[in-house]
Amino acid sequence: MTVHVHVRVMPRPGLLDPQGQAVEHALTSLGFAGAAAVRVGKAIDFTLEAESLVAAEAMVREMCERLLANPVTEDFVIEVSS
Protein backbone atom coordinates (compact mmCIF):
# COMPACT_ATOMS: atom_id res chain seq x y z
CA MET A 1 0.00 0.00 0.00
CA THR A 2 1.03 3.59 -0.56
CA VAL A 3 1.22 5.55 2.68
CA HIS A 4 1.24 9.34 2.87
CA VAL A 5 3.71 10.55 5.48
CA HIS A 6 3.92 13.93 7.21
CA VAL A 7 6.86 14.56 9.53
CA ARG A 8 7.45 17.66 11.65
CA VAL A 9 10.96 18.17 13.01
CA MET A 10 11.05 20.94 15.62
CA PRO A 11 13.81 22.39 17.81
CA ARG A 12 13.59 20.94 21.33
CA PRO A 13 11.96 23.04 24.04
CA GLY A 14 14.55 25.11 25.84
CA LEU A 15 16.91 25.31 22.89
CA LEU A 16 17.40 28.71 21.31
CA ASP A 17 15.46 29.13 18.05
CA PRO A 18 16.64 32.33 16.33
CA GLN A 19 14.39 31.77 13.32
CA GLY A 20 11.37 31.43 15.59
CA GLN A 21 12.31 34.62 17.43
CA ALA A 22 12.68 36.47 14.12
CA VAL A 23 9.23 35.31 12.98
CA GLU A 24 7.72 36.32 16.33
CA HIS A 25 9.20 39.82 16.07
CA ALA A 26 8.05 40.14 12.46
CA LEU A 27 4.50 39.09 13.38
CA THR A 28 4.43 41.66 16.18
CA SER A 29 5.76 44.34 13.79
CA LEU A 30 2.96 43.51 11.35
CA GLY A 31 0.38 44.07 14.08
CA PHE A 32 -0.39 40.46 14.95
CA ALA A 33 -0.43 40.71 18.71
CA GLY A 34 -0.95 37.58 20.76
CA ALA A 35 1.41 35.23 18.92
CA ALA A 36 3.93 33.72 21.32
CA ALA A 37 6.34 30.82 21.65
CA VAL A 38 7.00 30.72 17.92
CA ARG A 39 9.17 27.78 16.85
CA VAL A 40 10.28 27.09 13.29
CA GLY A 41 11.26 23.62 12.15
CA LYS A 42 11.13 21.38 9.12
CA ALA A 43 8.07 19.82 7.50
CA ILE A 44 8.84 16.74 5.42
CA ASP A 45 6.16 15.08 3.26
CA PHE A 46 6.54 11.94 1.18
CA THR A 47 4.89 8.74 0.06
CA LEU A 48 6.08 5.35 1.20
CA GLU A 49 5.42 1.83 0.02
CA ALA A 50 4.72 -0.29 3.11
CA GLU A 51 2.68 -3.32 4.15
CA SER A 52 0.64 -1.45 6.74
CA LEU A 53 0.35 1.89 8.52
CA VAL A 54 2.06 0.38 11.55
CA ALA A 55 4.99 -0.84 9.46
CA ALA A 56 5.18 2.54 7.74
CA GLU A 57 5.30 4.42 11.03
CA ALA A 58 8.08 2.17 12.33
CA MET A 59 10.08 2.77 9.15
CA VAL A 60 9.56 6.53 9.32
CA ARG A 61 10.64 6.55 12.96
CA GLU A 62 13.91 4.91 11.93
CA MET A 63 14.29 7.45 9.10
CA CYS A 64 13.89 10.26 11.61
CA GLU A 65 16.40 8.77 14.03
CA ARG A 66 18.99 8.12 11.32
CA LEU A 67 18.58 11.05 8.94
CA LEU A 68 15.70 13.48 9.24
CA ALA A 69 16.15 14.74 12.80
CA ASN A 70 19.10 15.49 15.05
CA PRO A 71 18.23 13.54 18.22
CA VAL A 72 20.23 15.95 20.40
CA THR A 73 18.54 19.16 19.32
CA GLU A 74 15.27 18.19 17.62
CA ASP A 75 12.03 16.37 18.34
CA PHE A 76 9.87 14.85 15.64
CA VAL A 77 6.19 14.06 15.15
CA ILE A 78 5.06 11.48 12.59
CA GLU A 79 1.67 11.27 10.88
CA VAL A 80 0.86 8.45 8.47
CA SER A 81 -2.34 8.01 6.47
CA SER A 82 -3.42 5.75 3.63
The residue ranges that bind its own copies (CB under 8 A) are 6, 8-10, 20, 23-24, 26-27, 30, 32-50, 59, 62-63, 66-68
Q: Among residues 43 and 72, whose Cβ is nearest to its own copies?
A: 43
Contact 18, 80 (CB under 8 A): no
Closest approach of its own copies to the CB of residue 71, in Å: 15
- Cβ neighbourhood burial of 58 (10 Å; 0-12, 13-18, 19+): middle
Identity of the residue numbered 14: G
Closest approach of its own copies to the CB of residue 5, in Å: 8
